[in-house]
Amino acid sequence: MWKRNKKNEANEEADKGLSELFKLVSYLGPYRLCFYSALICLFVTALLSLAFPYLMGELIGGSMGGTDGIADPKNVKEKINSVALILVTVLAVQAFIAYWRVRWFAFAGESALADIRKDAYGKLIKLPMSYFSERRVGELCSRISADLSLIRDTLILTVPQIIRQAVMLVGGISFIAWASPKLTMVMLLCIPIVVILMGIFGRGIRVQTREAQDELAASNVIVEESLHGIASVKAFTNESHEELRYSESIKGFVNLTLSASKARALFVSFIIFALFGVITFVIWYGAGMLDRGEINATKFTQFVLFSIFVGAALGSFPDILSQLHKAVGATVRVREIISERPEPEGDDCEKLSRLRGEVRFIDVSFSYPSRKEVEVLKEINLSVNAGERVAIVGASGAGKSTLFQLLMRFYDPSSGELQFDGQNAANYSLRELRNQMAIVPQEVLLFGGSIRENIAYGCPGAENSHIIAAAEKANAHEFIQSFPESYQTIVGDRGVKLSGGQRQRIAIARAILADPAILLLDEATSSLDSESEGLVNEALETLMSERTSIIIAHRLATVRGADRILVLRDGRFIESGTHEELSCKDGGVYKMLSELQFN
Which sequence spans correspond to the domains of the chain?
A: 20-338, 359-598
pTM of this prediction? Answer: 0.70
Reported as a pLDDT band with limits 50, 70 and 90, residue 67 is very low
Q: Give pLDDT, residue 3.
A: 44
7 pLDDT above the threshold of 70: no
What does the alpha-carbon distance between residue 580 and residue 213 come to, in Å, rounded to a whole number? 60
Q: Give pLDDT, residue 599.
A: 59
215 tagged catalytic: no
276 pLDDT above the threshold of 80: no
Reported as a pLDDT band with limits 50, 70 and 90, residue 347 is low
Q: What's the whole-number average pLDDT of the chain?
A: 77
Q: What is the DSSP string of 197-232?
A: HHHHHHHHHHHHHHHHHHHHHHHHHHHHHHHHTHHH
Q: Of residues 523, 546, 581, 595, which has the active-site annotation?
A: 523
Mean pLDDT, residues 248-263:
78
Q: Which fold has domain 359-598?
A: Rossmann fold (3.40.50)
Q: Give pLDDT, residue 333.
A: 78
Q: Give pLDDT, residue 142.
A: 74
For the chain, percent of residues with pLDDT exceeding 90:
0
Q: Give pLDDT, residue 596.
A: 67
Q: 3-state DSSP: the chain helix, strand, coil percent, rounded to 5?
A: 70, 10, 20
47 pLDDT above the threshold of 80: yes
Mean pLDDT, residues 486-507:
80
Mean pLDDT, residues 582-589:
77
Lowest-confidence region among 188-197, 266-275, 532-541: 188-197
Report how far Cα 524 is from the mean position of its chain's Cα atoms: 33
Q: Give pLDDT, residue 478.
A: 84
Looking at per-residue confidence, does 95 or 349 come out higher? 95
Lowest-confidence region among 310-319, 345-354, 436-445, 495-504: 345-354
What does the alpha-carbon distance between residue 308 and residue 302 come to, in Å, rounded to a whole number? 10
Over residues 14-34, the pLDDT tens digits come to 555 566 666 777 788 888 888
Whole-Å CA distances, 366 to 280, 378, 403, 420: 73, 7, 9, 18
End-to-end CA distance of the chain: 70
What superfamily in CATH does domain 20-338 come from?
ABC transporter type 1, transmembrane domain (1.20.1560.10)
Check: CB of residue 333 under 8 Å from CB of residue 141. no
Q: Give pLDDT, residue 63.
A: 55
4 pLDDT above the threshold of 50: no
Q: Give pLDDT, residue 159.
A: 80
Looking at per-residue confidence, does 12 or 433 come out higher? 433
416 pLDDT above the threshold of 80: yes
Looking at per-residue confidence, does 181 or 238 come out higher? 181
Lowest-confidence region among 348-357, 384-393, 417-426, 461-470: 348-357
Q: For the chain, what is the largest distance between any 2 Cα atoms, rounded to a whole number of angstroms?
A: 124
Mean pLDDT, residues 449-474:
84
Q: Give pLDDT, residue 485.
A: 87
Q: Give pLDDT, residue 369.
A: 80
Q: Give pLDDT, residue 234.
A: 64
Q: What is the DSSP string of 398-423?
A: SSHHHHHHHHTTSS--SEEEEEETTE
For the chain, percent of residues with pLDDT exceeding 70:
79
* Contact partners, residue 297, CB within 8 Å, separation at least 6: 60, 61, 64, 65, 69, 290
Among the listed residues 563, 162, 135, 225, the one whose alpha carbon sits nearest the alpha carbon of residue 384: 563
Looking at per-residue confidence, does 44 or 370 come out higher? 44
What does the alpha-carbon distance between residue 477 and residue 479 come to, in Å, rounded to a whole number? 6
Mean pLDDT, residues 289-305:
77
What does the alpha-carbon distance between residue 35 and residue 27 come to, in Å, rounded to a whole number? 11
Q: Give pLDDT, residue 114.
A: 85
- The 10 Å Cβ neighbour count of residue 464 is 10
